[in-house]
Amino acid sequence: MNVNNQQLKVWDVPVRLFHWSLVVCFVLAYVSAEVGILDAHVLIGYALIALLALRVLWGFIGNPYARFKSFIFSRQETLAYVRAMRGGQPAHYYGHNPAGALMVFGLLALLLAIFASGLITLATVDYEGPLLFLANQVSDDTSYFFRHAHSFFVDVALLVIPLHLLGVLAGSIQHKENLVRSMITGMKKVVSTNSQHS
């Protein structure tokens, strides 16, 4: 069989479910906040927190491509990849490449900041939620600081997400593979090249 017709299972079901559920829930959370349906916003927020917790767990026990240790790269390898990407000939990775890995960890950290500030806001401004014990422990100024921080982190996410999409587009073009489809099917084509990385 021609190597170009061979397929490799890269993204397992939990990773794909996390990815697309995150997309849907983030959009719903943003829209519900914008239109003022706050009860729905809170419930969707809890769903997002559960998704993040499951993804972190899967980052330690999932398949090899899902595990965090598979896409922790040195600064040198990351810089070399970015330079090669700018030159149009980056090495191919079946899992996350160094630039994609930076985006993944950045987005996970950003989500954590959004959720933490949201829970603190829920407790100290709306007097609800699992952190309610904080309600009388912080000042009004601190409460509203976290409320503004929550909005700020969401705004940052709205700036970072288009960068992620541009990275997906660039990777799809440079490696001649449909990265969106691979996150749907879980499959990537097998490539035969000396610059291939796992």
Write the pLDDT tens digit of every residue in 47-95.
999 999 999 999 999 999 999 999 999 999 999 999 998 888 889 999 9
The number of folded domains in the chain is: 1
Map 134-159 to HEC letters: HCCCCCHHHHHHHHHHHHHHHHHHHH
pLDDT at 193: 55
Query: Structural domain of residue 114, as residue ranges?
Result: 3-189
Does residue 195 sit within a domain? no
Residue 156 lies in a domain: yes
For the chain, first and last CA: distance in Å? Answer: 21
- The answer as to whether 88 is a domain residue is yes
Bridge partner list, 9: 187
Q: Which residues of the chain have pLDDT under 50?
A: 1-2, 194
Instruction: Report pLDDT for 139.
Output: 92
Domain CATH code at residue 85? 1.20.950.20
Predicted model pTM: 0.89
